Amino acid sequence: MTTSHRYGPTALVTPANAITLGRLVFAPVFIALILVQGASWLTAAVGAVFALSDGFDGTIARRHGATRSGAFLDPLADKVVVLSSMYALCATGHLPWLPVVLITVREAWMSVYRWRASRQGISIPARRTAKLKTFVQDFAIAWCVLPPTASLAWLQTGTIWLAAAITLFTGYEYWRDGRAVAAPA
């Protein structure tokens, strides 16, 4: 018989947080692989582990109880891994700078917006389109590090612009949701 341990909202040391912290700690390894090796099966495999572990820690958190620390750490790890990867790919000439800067501005703005909303007692729940945003951002990175697609600039550029468009749209959705919750009845 297996028992499932549930963690309260204030728990810090949880399996989901351990996976998330692992993503933060090992992010420099992925960035170094992008910068030193470029497109390779090793770089792609490490990137895939990061992408899959993002979903895995969320599944574990839902199963064992979400925590405030996890709600802070998971998006932080996502932003660190994704944005640093994108900037490394810009520096190596695989991605154009403008869509990556737009994604960065939206992510920074959204972090501040959600933080301010939470200080007012307003919770802005995640949307399904945010999953699509993450998926497309991950593929924008993947096309650059997978050897068969590393030379397909049109695919990389098209995907990063699509990621930027979806990222900006989800920012608008979250802004709209926050305004709807904050509006007096």
Identify whether 143 is part of a domain. yes
Task: Determine the Cα–Cα distance for residues 135 and 130; give it in Å rounded to an integer.
Answer: 9
Identify whether 148 is part of a domain. yes
Domains held by the chain: number: 1
Identify whether 86 is part of a domain. yes
pLDDT of residue 3: 47
Residue 174 sits in which domain range? 15-182
pLDDT of residue 48: 94
Closest to 45 in 3D by CA, of 180, 142, 158, 157: 142
Identify whether 78 is part of a domain. yes
CB 160 within 8 A of CB 95: yes
Identify whether 7 is part of a domain. no
**CATH code, 162:** 1.20.120.1760
Band of pLDDT at residue 183, cut at 50, 70 and 90: low
Look-up of token digits 């709807």: 180
Report the predicted TM-score, pTM, of the whole model to 2 decimal places. Answer: 0.87
- Cβ burial of 85 (10 Å; 0-12, 13-18, 19+) is buried
Average pLDDT, the chain: 88
pLDDT digits (tens, 9 = 90+) for 87-112: 999 999 999 999 999 999 999 999 89
pLDDT digits (tens, 9 = 90+) for 146-173: 999 999 999 999 999 999 999 999 999 9
Identify whether 10 is part of a domain. no
16: pLDDT strictly greater than 70: yes
Give the side-chain half-sphere CA count within 13 A for 170. 25
Identify whether 151 is part of a domain. yes
